[in-house]
Amino acid sequence: MTKLIASLCVVCSLMGATATAYAANYAASANEVAAKIQMSDAEIKQQIDRYIKSEMQERRIPGMQLAVVKGGKIVLLKSYGLAEIPNAVAVNDQNVFSINSATKSFTGVAIMQLVEEGKLDLSAPVSRYLDGLPVAWQAVTVRQLLTHTSGIPDIISSKIPSLATPQEVDAAWAAIQTWPMEFKTGERYRYNQTNYILLGKIIDRLSGMPFIEFFQKRQFAVAGMRSVGFGESRDVIPRKAVSYRYEEPGGSLRHIVETYPPFLRTGAGMNSSAEDVANWLIALQQGKLISAAGLKQLWTPGTFNNGKPTVWALGWPVMRQGEYAAVAGVGGARSAFYVYPGHDLAIVTLTNLAGADPQGMIDDIAGFYLPGLRKAHGGAYAGHLLREQISQEGYAGLAAKLNKIKIDKGLPDPSEDDFNSWGYRLLGKKMADQAVTVFGLGVQVYPNSANLHDSLAEVYEFQGDKLAALKHYRLSLGLNAQNSHAAERIAVLDGTQKNR
């Protein structure tokens, strides 16, 4: 036994030496292959261009701008499609688009500028800076306003049908201060426009000027933003791309009428070009707007009362933490920008279609520069490749097609949201049979997704297949007992079936 062990040790030693040599040779070979297959800048731009055109067609986006920032400069700036459909006005780099709630990221920077001037403490109660607030609001901190953990009621509510006139705004502001808190401060997250109204009032008071002027002097001018500004549908805005929305499902394209009274504009209401946003992101990361320490604080998630991190930093949604951490500005499901702080990369996508959800494209675009990101989080790109294949081969064998793409490209599954968005886009194109196929694959990949079962049931109901709809509504309700939509539809469909 001892001799056998000794012999095995010698063999293992020899195998280890051989394996080490092989590993070294393999690593060198792999590096050579990687160097050979690494795309040039021109090839990356060509691939991105193809991707954008494909996704614009898939999402039925009329017009779009893209900017990519890397190494402290804009390495890609391009415009696509139409800024105005009736007169076939093409998008150019000088057009501005509504960025909606991505305005909140600029508000976060303005607040940090006041912090760095020693005028503001993020941990201080809002009552230190604003008088006459309801007692329940007074202990909320500035940080809790920024991270949407205040519990203060939201002024965007069915109880307030309009904010179109100064009289309506005044009445709404008086009314909301009589409403109860929505939850205990710091216990939960709820996206809320009232938080940013209060932040605007704080900026007005501490800066000594209206917040719009403060933004202009301290951010827009410093960053060299030439076209940015505030405005809404009632304003005449030079070079503004017209905003559109599709009626659902499968409806026609309509104009959007957007109303942003001035007191809401720290939460929404900015218009910008992708180039201007890109230049602002460069200035922000180069320390021209706030310090490096301030930037780190700006992008650090808040904390709930239990110590867990919130999903928002200071005006910035936190899209992901870890190796490929990303923070963002996202607005109106039509415009978005991501910053990947650990990888010196930022992507800006602006569109004129509400519901385009360009934030769902940004990781895919970033993946052309960061292959590791695509390997780790490239499920949406797998969906993109699958759609390209479907365009040539049809929907038959969808699961097998996806599995092959995942194996060949080393990609993960599309997410639940990826399947859900894709299925509803198909329904919007009056392709209900194909939507059933996509949602069906979604529930195959995510059998415990109440949302996907609910979506599949909805399409079956749309098609008139009540038994299949009932089956998936019941599966959805079994997975999520709080799904009121599924419960309501089951009651309706059960009654219909019993009365037949």
Please check the confidence at residue 170 and state whether its pLDDT lies above 70. yes
Q: Once rounded to an integer, what is the mean pLDDT over residues 220-231?
A: 96
Query: Which residues fall within 8 angstroms of residue 444, CB to CB, at 6 or more apart?
Result: 399
Please tell me the predicted confidence (pLDDT) of residue 496: 62
Please tell me the predicted confidence (pLDDT) of residue 232: 87
In one-letter notation, the amino acid at residue 60 is: R
Please check the confidence at residue 7 and state whether its pLDDT lies above 50. no
Chain centre distance of CA 266: 19
pLDDT tens per residue across span 104-119 = 999 999 999 999 999 9
CA dihedral 131, 135, 140, 141 (to 10 degrees): 30
pLDDT tens per residue across span 341-365 = 999 999 999 999 999 999 999 999 9
Cα–Cα dist 217/194, whole Å: 25
The closest of 40, 65, 74, 55 to 368, measured between CA atoms, is 40
Q: Answer whether CATH 3.40.710.10 is correct for domain 47-366.
A: yes
What percent of the chain has pLDDT above 90? 83
- pLDDT higher at 32 or 328: 328
Query: What is the location of CATH 3.40.710.10 in the chain?
Result: 47-366
Cα–Cα dist 12/473, whole Å: 59
Q: Once rounded to an integer, what is the mean pLDDT over residues 210-236?
A: 95
Please tell me the predicted confidence (pLDDT) of residue 171: 93
Cα–Cα dist 109/115, whole Å: 10
CATH class of the region 374-498? mainly alpha
The answer to whether 349 and 274 are in contact (CB under 8 A) is yes
Query: What is the location of CATH 1.25.40.10 in the chain?
Result: 374-498
How many of the other CB atoms lie within 10 Å of CB of 323? 13
Please check the confidence at residue 386 and state whether its pLDDT lies above 50. yes
Cis amide leading into 371 (omega within 30) = no
Please tell me the predicted confidence (pLDDT) of residue 13: 37
Please tell me the predicted confidence (pLDDT) of residue 250: 67
pTM of the model: 0.88
The answer to whether 195 and 146 are in contact (CB under 8 A) is yes
Burial of 55 (0-12, 13-18, 19+ CB in 10 A): buried
Q: Once rounded to an integer, what is the mean pLDDT over residues 482-497?
A: 89
Please check the confidence at residue 468 and state whether its pLDDT lies above 70. yes
The closest of 302, 295, 345, 340 to 321, measured between CA atoms, is 340
pLDDT tens per residue across span 242-287 = 999 998 766 789 999 888 888 899 999 999 999 999 999 999 999 9
Cα–Cα dist 462/375, whole Å: 37
